[in-house]
Amino acid sequence: MTVTINIKDLVKKYADATVIPALSLEIKKGEFFTLLGPSGCGKTTLLRMIAGFNSIEGGTISFNERVINQVEPGKRNIGMVFQNYAIFPHLTVKGNIAFGLENRKIPKEQIAAKVDDILKVVQIEQYKDRMPKNLSGGQQQRVALARAIVIRPDVLLMDEPLSNLDAKLRIDMRNAIKDIQREVGITTVYVTHDQEEAMAVSDRIAVMKSGIIQHLGTPQEIYQRPANVFVATFIGRTNIIEGSLTQEEGRYSLQIGSNYAEPMSNIRVPKPQASLKVQISVRPEEFIMTEDQSGIRATIVHSVFLGQNTHYFVDLELGQRIEITQESKTSQILSPGEVIYLKVKTDKINVYDAAGELNYTGSGQL
């Protein structure tokens, strides 16, 4: 039976240092939920609190309605996949997978059947009797996954399970993990610092920093409408430019530099003022090169040709260096020193308050 995880005002302290101040979160039944953030943001700490390996200094964690703060890890009915797999090196593949079942006093024949079933799901039937040292990283990963889900856990917890694999295998495995999770339908909490991986597997993502959830949403939401400047810079690449918002009769206009202004139709400011300083997040692909001499004046510094796209590093007239991406053309690549004029895609860019904490751009206009 899979569950809803309810986290309320959760606090984690190590001695006097507070790692997680007060975190609340609801993870839905059967959801693939990812905790994403830079190292030291508290994501693994939170996962280990759910697992029961870290103590809880305040607040509650419940599976459905049951508060599990005081329940021992072994009694929480969780399946966990560790960063280094934590495969038992002295047991065969079969022995590893059967280990959790043997704790549950299940008849031998049933254990064998369950092990065979799960081996098929993770596609390593042929390695059943091998010792772990004779398996590749990807195969060990599959054993770890099989071992965690064969016990039919209420919750599947994964701590950076792919970080030890090479780039290509990482992509194969993350697809496999996603497929298997969908097939067994277990509520899954996944920890990673790799934003691309998070986007690829998750139903929803919580972006964390300093023990606080900065943004909780679907992959599309957090990429296109990041809640604050931190999330915008952490997810994908972006340029942060300073500008100002002016308002006239409810209509907003965005000013960048002295010669460029765009009307904005999707701005919502809590306390409207005539003019506001703002931070603007413009992703490299959200710039348009204009043919005429309107827009922001910029000078090409250097370019990188990457096949489908060409990346330009340019200096704005405001003195800032930014990155822009253009679909590659057959004509000559612009050379250093050339002057171009840039506009932004107003429906895609994000406008934040001066502190970078609040997104003025409405998501309704997506």
Partner 1 sequence: MNDTRKRFDIWTNISLLIFVFYILFLALPLFTMLIKSFYNGTTGDFSLAYFTKFFSKPYYLTALFNSIKVTVCVTALSALIATPLAYLMATVKIKGNSTIRIMILISSMSAPFIGAYSWILLLGRNGVITQFIKNVFGFTMPDIYGFTGILVVLTLQMVPLIFMYVSGALKNVDQSLMEAAESMGYKGFNKMRKVLLPLITPTLLAGGLLVFMRALADFGTPMLIGEGFKTVPVLIFNEFISEVGGDDGFAAAISVIVVLFATVIFLLQKYVSNRKSFTMSALHPIEAKKKSGIGNIMAHVVIYAYTLIALLPQLYVIYTSFLKTNGRIFVDGYSLQSYIDAFSNIGGVIANTFFLAVVSLVVIILLAILIAYVTVRRRNALTNTLDIFTMFPYIVPGSILGIALLITFNDKPLALSGTALIMIISFVIRRLPYTIRSSAAILHQINGGIEEAAISLGASQMRTFFKITLPMMVAGVVSGAILSWVTIITELSTSIILYTGKTKTVTVAIYTEVIRGNYGVAAALSTILTLITVISLLVFLKLSGQKEVSL
The footprint of partner 1 (CB under 8 A) covers 51-53, 55-57, 69-70, 72-75, 77-80, 82-84, 86-90, 99-100, 103-104, 144, 147-148, 151, 157
| Cβ proximity to partner 1, 150 vs 229, nearer residue | 150
* Shortest reach from residue 111's CB to partner 1, in Å: 13
Residues 143 and 97: beta-carbon distance below 8 Å: yes
Write out the two tokens for 15: 């001695």
Give the residue with the Cβ less far from partner 1, 52 or 226: 52
Quick one: 90 or 345, whose CB is closer to partner 1?
A: 90
* Closer by beta carbon to partner 1, 104 or else 345: 104
Q: How far is the CB of 114 from partner 1 (least distance, A)?
A: 13
| Nearest distance from C-beta of residue 358 to partner 1, angstroms | 35
Nearer to partner 1, 83 or 244 (CB): 83
Select 93 or 282, whichever has its Cβ closest to partner 1.
Answer: 93
* Minimum CB distance to partner 1 smaller for 154 or for 286: 154
How are strands ordered across the β-sheet holding 275-282? 260-264, 251-256, 239-248, 275-282, 350-353
Six-digit token string for 223 = 């990429």
Least spacing, CB of residue 109 vs partner 1, in Å: 20
In whole angstroms, the minimum distance from the beta carbon of 56 to partner 1 comes to: 6
How near is the Cβ of 99 to partner 1 at its closest, in Å? 6
From the number of C-beta atoms within 10 Å of its C-beta (0-12, 13-18, 19+), residue 75 rates as exposed
| Rounded Cα gap, residues 304 and 100, in angstroms | 52
Least gap, CB of 256 to partner 1 (angstroms): 50
